[in-house]
Amino acid sequence: EVHLLESGGGLIQPGGSLRLSCAVSGFTFSDYAMIWVRQAPGQGLQWVSVISGNGDNPYYTDSVKGRCTVSRDNFQNTVYLQMNSLRVDDTGVYYCAKGGSPERPDDAFDFWGQGTTVTVSS
Amino acid sequence: QAGLTQPPSVSKGLRQTATLTCTGNSNNVGNQGAVWLQQRQGLPPKLLSYRNNNRPSGISERFSASRSGNTASLTITGLQFEDEADYYCAAWDSSLSGWVFGGGTKATVL
């Protein structure tokens, strides 16, 4: 059974930093890209970042470029999102989701975690 | 980054059919199709359709996805009250090298 469990959220002041984690089990982690998606309160889903299975190809949405770094540990089956210079508009629930693989590129978003809440406020 | 376009809401009667649309361009929807997600209040999103229009295991046949050009569609037949939720589409954008989401459609069953 596939499980994704995010952690690391919390209340942080503007300008601060957080590292989100997403621990994964139930599939061959290193084969699949991993995706971060966030949802501001009362708003829709917004893609944040994606990292390939081997970690070589990270991509970011424009609003977090230069402030966030995605990484993964394929021995610990965990993906991370390091968030720096946090802003009020970074507030929201952050989800990790399973991506596709080179062999199964269409398998994106088939499993999600429960999310972790980030609140940026003074 | 420009997103995909979804109507904000749709309302249909019980057991009726609703068709939700998602419009992008040739770099995203028109290129590799779109996924469809359902999000009920307070819960994480759930995949309803892969971007090849196949349903994941366990998803009702009442949900079917298709694409024509740059527009993807999700058809829900035999609407049930449990189908009341927000529905999102998403597609990989080859020009942006990132995923783009639609703004979501809130489905109400009357």
pLDDT in tens, B56-97: 999 999 999 999 999 999 999 999 999 999 999 999 999 999
Tokens 């990484």 sit at which residue? A71
Mean pLDDT score, B27-53: 95
Q: Tell me the backbone φ, ψ of residue B66, rounded to 5 degrees.
A: -150, 175
The pLDDT of residue A103 = 82
Q: Are B72 and B34 in contact (CB under 8 A)?
A: yes
Q: Which of B99, B100, B106 best probes binding to A when mutated, by most A CB atoms within 10 angstroms? A: B99
Cβ <8 Å between A114 and B50: no
Mean pLDDT score, A105-111: 90
**pLDDT averaged over chain A?**
96
Question: Would you say residue A20 has pLDDT above 90?
Answer: yes
User: Closest-CA residue in chain B for A44?
Assistant: B103
The pLDDT of residue A102 = 84
Cβ <8 Å between A109 and B104: no
Q: How far is A59 from chain B (nearest CA, A)?
A: 6
Residue range A29-88, pLDDT digits in tens: 999 999 999 999 999 999 999 999 999 889 999 999 999 999 999 999 999 999 999 999
3-state secondary structure of A31: helix
User: From CA B35, how far away is CA A98, in angstroms rounded?
Assistant: 13
Q: Please report, rounded to a whole number, the percentage of residues in chain B having pLDDT higher than 70.
A: 98
Nearest to A49 by CA among A119, A96, A106, A14: A96
Q: Please report, rounded to a whole number, the percentage of residues in chain B having pLDDT higher than 90.
A: 95
The pLDDT of residue A104 = 83
User: From CA B88, how far away is CA B48, in angstroms rounded?
Assistant: 10
User: Closest-CA residue in chain A for B94?
Assistant: A59
Cβ <8 Å between A106 and B56: no
